[in-house]
Amino acid sequence: MTVQPIRPIELMEDENITQFEFKDFIGVWKNFMPKVRCDKFIEHFEQIRSHGSVVEHPDPKEQELMDGTTQFKQGSLGRRDESLLLNYSDASLNYEANQYLTACVQHYIKKYDQLKTGKFISEDCKMQKTPPGGGYHMWHYENSGFGHHARELVWAIYLNDMPEGEAETEFLYQRRRIQPTAGTVVVWPASMTHVHKGNTVFTQDKYILTGWYIRVP
């Protein structure tokens, strides 16, 4: 199914309508998804979490909330979070998320037009909840490792505001920290130029949508 962007490119480029910034090949669209819509995603996550009402999927492991601590041997990276794949749990919400995302990615590709030579598809839309004390604190980049080499772009949509000084997405070489605010969309390259980490959550739960665009032939 072709996803129709929530806003046409002409309005994405109009700074009186869309609040955006391109710097260090990182695109940021401030508070792009309305907070009322962000709250719907959080409500869905918590409903799944409490009732376990998820859509059937061929891989049983992906029918349940995934505990981030199990992804790393002995929890050696100190990761603690829960996630679900939105594209398997709610097709309508998944489409809506991709409407906002598509508008931003089209804007990003127009800005960095060498990407126009490629063809990209969006991988799974993962929704993630990180509790106080959690976060993925290891520096990493997204197309490292076997099976991830085709990842071209990474994206995140923050679903709730976080207090200043915690839970940022931090970029190593760019020396930048992106503060989570509800509805803000961030897009950046998946390569080693954009090594990053999630900083520690201290005071409240953090909710995000995240995923990748992969290059296809």
The Cα diameter of the chain in Å comes to: 50
Lowest mean pLDDT among 35-39, 49-53, 74-78, 153-157: 74-78
At 139-195, the pLDDT tens digits run: 999 999 878 999 999 999 999 999 999 999 999 999 999 999 999 999 999 999 999
The per-residue pLDDT for 143 is 94
Whether 171 is covered by a domain: the verdict is: yes
At 83-121, the pLDDT tens digits run: 899 998 899 999 999 999 999 999 999 999 999 999 999
What is d(CA 100, CA 102) in angstroms, rounded to the nearest whole number? 6
Supply 92's token pair.
Answer: 């309508």
Say what percent of the chain tops pLDDT 70: 87
Which positions ≥6 away from 36 have C-beta within 8 Å?
A: none
Whether 111 is covered by a domain: the verdict is: yes
Whether 152 is covered by a domain: the verdict is: yes
pLDDT of residue 37 exceeding 80, the answer is yes
| Structural domain containing residue 40 | 18-55+65-216
Whether 82 is covered by a domain: the verdict is: yes
Whether 6 is covered by a domain: the verdict is: no
Whether 9 is covered by a domain: the verdict is: no
Whether 4 is covered by a domain: the verdict is: no
Say which CATH number the domain at 197 has.
2.60.120.620
Residue position matching structure tokens 């990003």:
108
Whether 38 is covered by a domain: the verdict is: yes
The per-residue pLDDT for 70 is 47
Supply 74's token pair.
Answer: 């002995």
The per-residue pLDDT for 58 is 37
In this structure, what DSSP letter does residue 74 have? G
Contact 157, 97 (CB under 8 A): yes
CA dist list (Å): 66 to 69, 203, 214: 9, 22, 23
In total, how many domains does the chain have? 1
What is d(CA 210, CA 66) in angstroms, rounded to the nearest whole number? 14
- Torsion angle, alpha carbons of 103, 152, 140, 27, to 10: -30
Supply 151's token pair.
Answer: 């990842």
Which positions ≥6 away from 206 have C-beta within 8 Å?
A: 129, 130, 134, 135, 158, 160, 162, 167, 180
Contact 103, 3 (CB under 8 A): no
Give the other-Cβ count within 10 Å of 133's Cβ: 10
